[in-house]
Amino acid sequence: MGVRPALLFYCQHSVGLGHLTRSYALCAALAKRFRVVLACGGALPDGIAPPTGPELVALPPLGVGAAARFVSHDPRYTLERAREARAELLLRTFRSLRPAAVLVEMFPFGRAKFARELVPLLEETRRSGAIAACSLRDILVTGRPNQRAHDERACALANAHLDVVLMHSDPRMCRLEDTFAPHAALSVPVRYTGFVVNDARHRASRRSRVVVSAGGGLVGEPLLRAAVEAHRMSWSATGLPMRVVAGPLLPEPAWRRLRAAAAGQPGLELRRTVPDLGAELRAASASISQCGYNTALEVVRSRVPALVVPYATAEEDEQRRRARRLEQLGALRVLDPERLEPAALARELERLPAFRPARPPIDLDGAHSTCRQLWELVTVPAAPPDAQARPALLVTRTSPA
What pLDDT, in 10s, does the model give residues 9-26?
999 987 777 889 999 999
CA distance readout (Å), 42 to 11, 49, 177, 198, 295? 8, 14, 28, 20, 20
Q: Is the pLDDT of residue 388 over 60?
A: no
Q: For residue 374, what pLDDT band results from cuts at 50, 70 and 90? A: very high
Distance CA 221, CA 251 (A): 9
For residues 17 and 280, the model is more confident at 280
List pLDDT tens digits, range 117-170: 999 999 999 999 999 999 999 999 888 889 999 999 999 999 999 999 999 999
- The fraction of the chain above a pLDDT of 90, given in percent, is 76
Q: What is the average per-residue pLDDT within 68-82?
A: 87
pTM of the model: 0.89
Least reliable range by pLDDT among 7-21, 58-72, 362-376: 58-72
Pair 242, 210: CB distance under 8 Å = yes
**Spatial CA neighbour of 53 closest among 71, 75, 74, 37:** 37
Burial 181-198 (b: 16+ CB within 10 A, else e): ebeeebbbbbbbbbbbbb
Residue 351: which residues within 8 A CB-CB, separation 6 or more?
Answer: none
The pLDDT value given to residue 1: 52
pLDDT number for residue 385? 42
Given a cut of 90, is residue 313 above it in pLDDT? no
pLDDT band at 37 (very low <50, low <70, confident <90, very high): very high
Domains and CATH numbers, the chain: 6-195+365-397 (3.40.50.11380), 210-354 (3.40.50.2000)
Spatial separation of the C-alpha atoms in residues 230 and 342, rounded to whole Å: 5
Q: What's the distance, Cα to Cα, between the start and end of the chain in Å? A: 20
Taking the C-alpha atoms of residue 246 and residue 305, their distance in angstroms, rounded to an integer, is 20
Which of 46-55, 228-237, 302-311 is predicted least confidently?
46-55
pLDDT at position 171 is 95
Cβ neighbour number for residue 151 with a 10 Å cutoff = 21
pLDDT, average across residues 304-310: 97
Q: How many CA atoms lie within 13 A of 181 on its CB side?
A: 9
| CA–CA separation, 240 and 214 (whole Å) | 19
Starting at the edge strand that comes first in sequence, how are the strands of the sheet with 131-136 ordered? 55-58, 35-40, 6-11, 101-105, 131-136, 164-167, 190-192, 395-397
Q: What is the model's pLDDT at position 327? A: 97
> How much is the mean pLDDT over the chain?
90
- pLDDT attached to residue 67: 63
Could you tell me the sign of the dihedral formed by the alpha carbons of 74, 103, 116, 147, in that order? negative
Q: Which amino acid is at 239?
A: G
Please state whether beta strands 35-40 and 333-334 pair in parallel, antiparallel, or not at all (unpaired). unpaired
3-state secondary structure the chain: CCCCCEEEEEECCCCCCHHHHHHHHHHHHHCCCCEEEEEECCCCCCCCCCCCCCEEEECCCEEECHHHCEEECCCCCCHHHHHHHHHHHHHHHHHHHCCCEEEEECCCCCCHHHHHHHHHHHHHHHHHCCEEEEEECCCCCCCCCCHHHHHHHHHHHHHHHCCEEEECCCCCCCCHHHCCCCCCCCCCCEEECCCCCCCCCCCCCCCCCEEEEECECCCCHHHHHHHHHHHHHHHHHHCCCEEEECCCCCCHHHHHHHHHHHCCCCCEEEECCCCCHHHHHHHCCEEEECCCHHHHHHHHHHCCCEEECCCCCCCCCHHHHHHHHHHHCCCCEECCHHHCCHHHHHHHHHHHHHCCCCCCCCCCCHHHHHHHHHHHHHHCCCCCHHHHCCCCCCEEECCCC
Average pLDDT over residues 206-211: 90
Looking at residue 383, its pLDDT comes to 53
